[in-house]
Chain A
Amino acid sequence: MSSDDIYILGIHMTKFGKHPDSDVVDLGAEAAMAALADAGVTMADMGILAAGNLMNASAGFGQQLQKQIGQTGIPVFNVANACATGATALRTAIMAIKAGECDMGLAVGVEKLAGAGLLGGGGGGGKSDEHKWEPSGRFGAVAGVDGRIGTAAMPGTFAQVGMEYLHENDYSGEAFELFARISVKNHKHSTLNPLAAYTKEMSLEQVMGDVMIAYPNTRPMCSANCDGGAAAVVVSGAKLKTLSKEQQRRAVKVSASVLTSDPWQEACQVLPDVNTLTRMAAEQAYEQAGVSPEDLDLVELHDCFATAELVHYDNLMLCEPGGAVDLFESGATWRDGSTPVNVSGGLESKGHPISATGIANIWEVCHHLRGEAGDRQIEGAKVGLAHVIGLGSACGVHILESSAA
């Protein structure tokens, strides 16, 4: 191993689902302490804490967490970056180590969302029930614009992302059924993941027959709001050399760690562009890691909606440009295919406790690279990629490799 490399030394995700008896600090503490135990280190070894809890982004979650698990005076970075918050926390800890400020760090993401409804949209402009039409906001709106001038809510936004891809690539099949079959895949995968919020197989008829949220996404095609936490301990290669053979063996190399934001595109003011920044992040990550998409043994990508999974096949270059539908139809992204995608069940069934997601997807990849994934182990997995998108937008891509030690 190279001294300049960065490794995941320990990592953990809690069960995703309902945790009525735990608050966010409890869940964060559970994830953090388990990650420290997995790493075989303590808070005394940590040189930085990066923490995210998006729903209470101003509450100083990192310091609250320290009071539960150990206050050592280290710098805390409370981060918020939409659904990429967890990946941003991890990226922050990695940057601190790369900068030489410390040799070990802890990243934690946690969210309590069970029972939460629709996220995004709903606001904007004045109130429709006022007796006087008065312009307000950046568009001088006299009434709420969501529902009157398109939609900014998550399900409709990502529905349009998927439909736009089909339009650009002259798809002539049944859009609804295509996207529903992606969801069938992920729900089938989830049956092997005991930590997933939902672990039920669903037939195509069940997925298509469920409650429509925003065509073509029905409820099981949307990410599941739930509670959960995830945490990772990262370490420099130089420090890892001083640790035990067992710690070195289980360490997972972070071959690439990339965070991007959305560059300007013609239509980005009316429909968030989740494509360009993902493609940029993927290109940088493959370059950093010196691997190509064909080298990936598994991919955890941000299927916040079934419509999103399709476009990210293309954005992550798992297929030729425009070839996402063909890739899916080939069966390649099923767990027995050539590029298994979301063998955890994905956000649609594993769940999406926002700030935890960007670390939980890395936990999933690490689990396989360490050969510890049990029934859902992808045999011989050596290289994996984890991707998240936070709308607005932020994209995190990490490429991970099993340790050669």
Chain B
Amino acid sequence: MATKTQIPIVDYLVLGDDPHLEATECTSCGARYFDRRNACASCFGTDFTTVDVPTEGTLRSFTIVTFAAPGVPVPFVAGIVDAGGTSVRTNIINVEPDDEHVKLGMPVRLATYSLGTDDDGVEAIGFGYEPC
């Protein structure tokens, strides 16, 4: 029996040949969520389906965090990506963390990276968006 060798940082990151995020979509109004909802916060509907979130988007806002809680490595670029109409909270990775390189409105795409391997040999995979 094959053992699981990779695990995503969060359950809405889908690994494999074509890593992407998935969202829970309200079948009535189309509102999307990355976590479970008892009813849609927009229309109170209770039927949901799972949809793929586009891997490319544009950077709608960002900050460069240089002071954070203990254990959080700094600096890092945090941002909000408009991925084809679905807003995603993410780090902006593979870029110099300064306002010369990170620009509002710049096109970005999903990228994954390793968070390390645990005692059972399972590798955790994180995601971010990088300039493209």
Determine which of A122, A125, A164 lies in contact with B61 in the assembled complex, contact meaning CB atoms within 8 Å: A164
- Nearest chain A CB to B88 CB, angstrom units: 6
Residue of B nearest to A157 (CB): B63
Residue ranges of A at the interface with B (Cβ–Cβ < 8 Å): 118, 121-122, 125, 128, 130-133, 135, 138-151, 153, 155-156, 159-161, 163-164, 166-167, 175-176, 211-217, 264, 266-267, 269-271
Determine which of B42, B80, B115, B118 lies in contact with A150 in the assembled complex, contact meaning CB atoms within 8 Å: B80
Q: What separation, in Å, do the CA atoms of A139 and B91 have in the docked complex?
A: 16
Provide a sorted-by-A list of 12 A–B residue pairs whose CB atoms are within 8 angstroms.
Answer: A122-B68, A138-B36, A142-B8, A146-B68, A146-B69, A148-B91, A164-B60, A212-B66, A267-B80, A269-B34, A269-B87, A270-B88
- Nearest chain A CB to B82 CB, angstrom units: 8
Q: What separation, in Å, do the CA atoms of A143 and B73 have in the docked complex?
A: 13
- Residues in A whose Cβ lies below 8 Å from that of B66: 212-215
Contact B11 A150 (CB under 8 A): no
- Say yes or no: A139-B11 contact (C-beta < 8 A), given A163-B63, A167-B61: yes
Determine which of B10, B41, B87, B89 lies in contact with A141 in the assembled complex, contact meaning CB atoms within 8 Å: B10
The 3 nearest A-B residue pairs measured at CB: A122-B69, A140-B11, A147-B72
Residue of A nearest to B92 (CB): A150
- Nearest chain A CB to B12 CB, angstrom units: 7
Residue of B nearest to A132 (CB): B118
- Nearest chain A CB to B9 CB, angstrom units: 6
- Residues in B whose Cβ lies below 8 Å from that of A133: 7, 115, 118, 122, 124
Contact A214 B63 (CB under 8 A): yes
Contact B104 A166 (CB under 8 A): yes
Q: What separation, in Å, do the CA atoms of A159 and B61 have in the docked complex?
A: 9
Residue ranges of B at the interface with A (Cβ–Cβ < 8 Å): 7-12, 31-36, 41-42, 60-74, 76, 78-80, 85-91, 99, 104-105, 115, 118-120, 122, 124, 126-127
- Say yes or no: A160-B79 contact (C-beta < 8 A), given A264-B31, A266-B87: yes
Contact B65 A214 (CB under 8 A): yes
Contact B119 A135 (CB under 8 A): no
Q: What separation, in Å, do the CA atoms of A161 and B71 have in the docked complex?
A: 25
Residue of A nearest to B43 (CB): A264
Contact B9 A148 (CB under 8 A): yes
- Nearest chain B CB to A217 CB, angstrom units: 8
Contact B91 A153 (CB under 8 A): no
Contact B9 A147 (CB under 8 A): no
Residue of A nearest to B80 (CB): A271
Q: What separation, in Å, do the CA atoms of A351 and B9 have in the docked complex?
A: 38
- Say yes or no: A146-B63 contact (C-beta < 8 A), given A141-B10, A270-B87: no
Contact A213 B67 (CB under 8 A): yes
Contact B61 A156 (CB under 8 A): no
Contact B90 A155 (CB under 8 A): no
- Nearest chain B CB to A117 CB, angstrom units: 8
Contact B10 A139 (CB under 8 A): yes
- Nearest chain B CB to A191 CB, angstrom units: 27
- Say yes or no: A139-B69 contact (C-beta < 8 A), given A148-B9, A160-B78: no
- Residues in A whose Cβ lies below 8 Å from that of B118: 130-133
Contact A271 B68 (CB under 8 A): no
Q: What separation, in Å, do the CA atoms of A345 and B72 have in the docked complex?
A: 32
Determine which of B33, B36, B91, B119 lies in contact with A149 in the assembled complex, contact meaning CB atoms within 8 Å: B91
- Residues in B whose Cβ lies below 8 Å from that of A267: 80, 87
Q: What separation, in Å, do the CA atoms of A336 and B60 have in the docked complex?
A: 35
- Residues in B whose Cβ lies below 8 Å from that of A145: 9-10
- Residues in A whose Cβ lies below 8 Å from that of B105: 167
- Residues in A whose Cβ lies below 8 Å from that of B10: 125, 139-142, 145, 149
- Residues in A whose Cβ lies below 8 Å from that of B88: 270
Contacts A151-B76, A153-B65, A155-B63 supplied; 9 other A-B pairs, CB < 8 Å: A130-B118, A133-B122, A138-B36, A140-B12, A147-B72, A151-B63, A156-B65, A266-B85, A267-B80
